[in-house]
Chains A and B, each alone.
Chain A
């Protein structure tokens, strides 16, 4: 704040993007809006739109939430996804502190890493449960219900989860449908449980029945690509290099076209208080990775061999390399 000449900053959170608020006040509010005010002297106050949140967190209650912004501030983290009526209530247009706060959030403290490790452990157990309960005839949303129940029973605050099932016609993951699993299906999922505010992720593919030669071949490519990123990632490496290491494996096997936006989104991303933190692992992102950042490298994409396939683990960047925080076996799962 001193560097920027800011006297005070606001950190705004809403029901979707709680992360700016929780980066200062790690309280899991359940109402629509929350706002933390940080003065340069270090004083922190929290204001909530919901009376239950205000009571539990011993914060201020402001049901007419526009009034929470009346005092204005030098800058706001989360400004971009604030409703315009709140921005107007600030009086003069505030500066965005979002990028600065996100940069501060990228390098995790020991306590934050501990939370992410807990989330990773839960992701591992959640995937074990996923692989245990899935069976032909079960519907996608029924499997998700079982996994959600397991994760919540074991302390997850929330979970971001996508799924897909089928064969080479499957081009991406989405929320669960009522499709019934069939023998021969390739079932992909990413589990992203949240513990104490922090998300970790695991991506795995499971085949119902004996995998085909093509499914094995595809998995070998995905495994090699993820391994290439894991071998490379360390402080000083760019996100672009981590993406290129993965994509080059696909290119080596003649599948380079499947590393582009038509077939895939990103080759990984950072994790923390938001499940899809930046920088994204993409070949055009020159951000230099730092020690104590937490990233997932996942070369998830479509291949004509197998349809959409996923494979990825959460990695903690250490002084000299990285540590894989997931313990789940790196294999093509079968049942």
Chain B
């Protein structure tokens, strides 16, 4: 789960990066003559929202609304007590509490006189959101966006570099340990380096890589790492002997 350091280093990802991404999203809206774009976000499905706004819901679900003419709005399932922190690590200036996401969205649309809405990757919207939205008077349509740019690639490279360096340094320490113990060593190293999330799979050659289960590692094993660094994932597998 997302329990590592969630932050926004503006030297790493300047606000201008997000401004450019929002400009591209608004261009897509203009092309389809849509007044706003809806982006779904939850603990695991956070990549698109993170790309556009740097928001990552460490818990719960949220809806991101990007109007064509105004600043983005976050409809947030989290408590207003954490909104100041969310504002400090995202581009949002407006955050609305939304324990019920769809009614909050429909309210926003009514306030702004929107009769239609673009939805980023509509077929992948969760059913719980889709169903009441499709039943409403709001017209919804699928919007695709290109979510890759130079800044995105650079962040993935940074995540990959972190994964590679730490894995190469820590992997040999697992000789004679259990996969639980090596998992602990890797958790410490990655989280201290700023990893937000981490998925570790181990193999000693007798099966496909799998989560730690207390198996002895011996002196020949591999570790598959999926690492999330500031919203950007890298996957890497290394085996011992290196």
Contact = CB atoms under 8 A, between A and B. Distances in A.
Asked if chains A and B come from one complex, the reply is: yes
B127 A149 contact: no
Contacts of A55: 207-208
A150 B185 CA distance: 9
A275 to B, nearest CB: 9
Given A148-B187, A172-B81, A263-B81, A87 B127 contact: yes
B5 interface: yes
Contacts of B4: 141, 144-145, 175-176
A179 to B, nearest CB: 10
Contacts of B6: 175
Contacts of B185: 149, 153
Nearest to A146: B188
Q: Give the size category of A's interface with B.
A: 35 or more
Interface in B1-20: 1-7
Given A81-B128, A176-B3, A30 B210 contact: yes
A180 interface: no
A52 interface: yes
B79 A153 contact: no
B148 interface: no
B95 interface: no
B127 A80 contact: yes
A291 interface: no
B58 A175 contact: yes
Contacts of B130: 84, 87
A81 B180 contact: no
Contacts of A159: 1, 3
Contacts of A86: 127
B191 A160 contact: no
Contacts of A145: 4, 187-188, 190-192
B180 A152 contact: yes
Nearest to B214: A155
Contact of A154 (B123, B124, B180, B188): B180
B90 interface: no
Interface string A136-169: 0000011011101111111101111110000000
B127 A175 contact: no
B79 A265 contact: yes
A152 B123 contact: no
Interface in B49-83: 58-59, 79-82
A165 B81 CA distance: 14
B180 A155 contact: yes
A252 interface: no
Contacts of B204: none
Given A154-B180, A172-B81, A302-B81, A82 B126 contact: yes
A319 interface: no
A82 B126 CA distance: 5
A14 interface: yes
Nearest to A145: B191
A190 B79 CA distance: 16
A171 B81 contact: yes
Interface string B23-67: 000000000000000000011110000000000001100000000
A80 B125 CA distance: 10
A133 to B, nearest CB: 11
A178 B188 contact: no
A16 interface: yes
Contact of A83 (B123, B184, B192, B207): B123
Given A145-B188, A175-B2, A56 B180 contact: no
Contacts of A88: 123
A15 B7 contact: no
A135 B39 CA distance: 41
Interface in A1-59: 14-16, 28, 30, 51-52, 55-56
7 contacts: A14-B44, A52-B201, A87-B130, A141-B194, A161-B1, A172-B79, A176-B3
Given A81-B42, A141-B191, 12 more contacts: A52-B201, A82-B126, A83-B123, A83-B124, A84-B122, A84-B127, A149-B185, A149-B188, A159-B3, A161-B1, A174-B58, A177-B7
